[in-house]
Amino acid sequence: MKRLFICVMLALPLAISAQTERGKIFQNEYNLNVLNHRIDSVVAATKGERLPVIGIGTLFADGRTATEQVYIDAVRAAGGAPVMIPIGDDVAAIDRILDGIDGLVIPGGEDVLPFLYGEEPDTHFGKDCLERDYFEISLIRLARKRGIPILSVCRGMQVTNVALGGTLCQDIPSADYSPKIQHGQWSTTSTPHHSISIDKGSQLYSILGAKAQVNSTHHQCVKQPAPGMRIVAKAPDDVPEAMEGDGILCVQFHPEAMIWKHPEMLGIYKWIVEKASRK
């Protein structure tokens, strides 16, 4: 009981501080003149400058178009302006949307349908979303033609490889990777779960160095890299954990879930923002 009391007393000043700060920000929340002043200040401060706009792919969630907040937070923390791109099959509309973005993030999610890389689904194949597969493949190919830089995360790495002509391992545990390690961690995704070795001279090496500890929430991975892409990081069992090409960085882990406890991971999102700002 004494320990609990001490914890509460330590946390109380932080809570008060947060509420005080919120009070400063929102003390005139119903005064639109104050809001207008804030808008004018931002416009004046950014005149001649422009935050790079980073498009983030989406998924279907209970009848809603959605993306996880961590992707949005990571793009903002890296200095970009995030926008969500809704799933659709109108290629002309997708191409038009790309007029308004400078960089692209392809997030994690479902398994990629094996028909799209010339295989039948095996007994370990999981949940799929064909609409999302076609949408993201269109998005990636169009962005590639336009020279828009791409950061692909987890499933994003897999669908990027398929979009560009590569293949996937449908299930790591039943494949021949050795020694066997767990890639589908049950702990919080902010916690590192296994190590990776990174090739010297790669873009990822310049961000994280030769070794890193990463989270791991996947059962599929890249098998044959697409033309123009190369594997630049592997887990101890030789499972591909990162892949790069011209203007493309793919990681099999989730840096956006780790950035608050492991700030070096924000460098991956700073990479896409920096690339987008040069576009």
Q: Which residues form the catalytic set?
A: 154, 254, 256
Query: How far does CA 122 lie from the centroid of its chain?
Result: 27
Q: Give the pairing of strands 103-106 and 150-153.
A: parallel
Backbone angles phi, psi at 45, to 5 degrees: -70, -30
207 SS3 class: helix
- Bin 228: left if φ > 0, else alpha if -120 < ψ < 50, else beta: left
Start-to-end CA distance of the chain, whole Å, equals: 58
- The answer to whether 251 and 261 have CB atoms below 8 angstroms apart is no
Task: Please list, in sequence order, all residues whose beta carbon lies within 8 angstroms of the beta carbon of residue 165, skipping any fewer than 6 positions away.
Answer: 226, 227
Q: In which region does residue 142 sit, left (phi positive, over 0), alpha (psi from -120 to 50) or beta (all else)? A: alpha
| Cβ 182 vs Cβ 193: under 8 Å | yes
